[in-house]
Amino acid sequence: MKKHSVNLFKNIDKSWTLFLDRDGVINKRIPDNYVLEWNQFEFLHGVLEALKVFSSVFGKIIIVTNQQGIGKGYMTETDLLKIHSNMISEIEKFGGRVDAVYFSPFLKESNHHTRKPNVGMALQAKKDFPEIDLKKSVMAGDSLSDMEFGHRAGMCNILISDEAEIAKKNHEIVNYLFPDLKTFSEKFINLQ
């Protein structure tokens, strides 16, 4: 769309990083609630296949997720780390990978620097992996908060949604729209 060429997908190689939101992108959201334990975690259709494709395309795959359920006292950091450990294990069994997961446990009203749309998690990833170039990064998320995060960090933004109207109204921060990760990953299958 605006700042990225339509050939973006052809230009992506191992020097690029994929940032992913978690709830609503990798796993099903629980309406008005949080995924508090592994048995509540359900991968969305096609996500495991998509992550396998992305693993062969991107140099780094980073998950960035707001998890204020911790701040609200519904779960502990240990609970969340167990969920993420199981999630990564399942992704790896399917031939995919995740290089790191960053989470912000803080309440929305705190406006903590690590909580999206603030860019603290992107900066931490860059610190941990100096080879990450945020200008050669893609943020895929299902919320405007994710899009604002990617925009502030200088990334290309992909909205995972079937709400074309939201993308149109926010075209300055939404570069591409796909209904799910699997459809996004299919952009790369014929390029490999």
pLDDT value of position 4: 47
CATH class belonging to 8-189: alpha beta
Q: Give, in order, the Cα–Cα distances in Å from 64 to each of 5, 168, 171.
A: 25, 24, 22
Mean pLDDT in residue range 167-174: 93
Closest alpha carbon to 23 in 141, 138, 164: 141
Does 82 score more than 50 pLDDT?
yes
pLDDT value of position 5: 45
- Quote the CA–CA distance of 192 and 177 in Å, as a whole number: 22
pLDDT value of position 189: 79
> What sign has the CA pseudo-torsion 52, 54, 59, 60?
negative
What confidence tier does 3 reach under pLDDT thresholds 50, 70, 90? very low
pLDDT value of position 49: 98
pTM exceeds cut of 0.85: yes
CB of 156 within 8 A of CB of 175?
yes
- Quote the CA–CA distance of 36 and 67 in Å, as a whole number: 10
pLDDT value of position 94: 97
The predicted-structure confidence for 99-119, as pLDDT tens digits, reads as follows 999 999 999 999 999 999 999
Task: Tell the burial category of 115 from Cβ atoms under 10 Å away from its Cβ (0-12, 13-18, 19+).
Answer: buried
Length of the chain: 192
Active site residues: 21, 23
pLDDT value of position 43: 98
> Which amino acid makes up residue 22?
R
What confidence tier does 191 reach under pLDDT thresholds 50, 70, 90? low
- Backbone dihedral angles phi then psi of residue 185, each to the nearest 5 degrees: -65, -30
Token pair for 6: 């339509």
The percentage of residues in the chain with a pLDDT greater than 90, rounded to a whole number, is: 88
The predicted-structure confidence for 14-63, as pLDDT tens digits, reads as follows 999 999 999 999 999 998 899 999 999 999 999 999 999 999 999 999 99
- Quote the CA–CA distance of 71 and 85 in Å, as a whole number: 20
- Write down the H helix ranges in the chain: 8-11, 47-57, 68-71, 77-93, 120-128, 144-153, 164-169, 181-189
- Quote the CA–CA distance of 72 and 104 in Å, as a whole number: 12
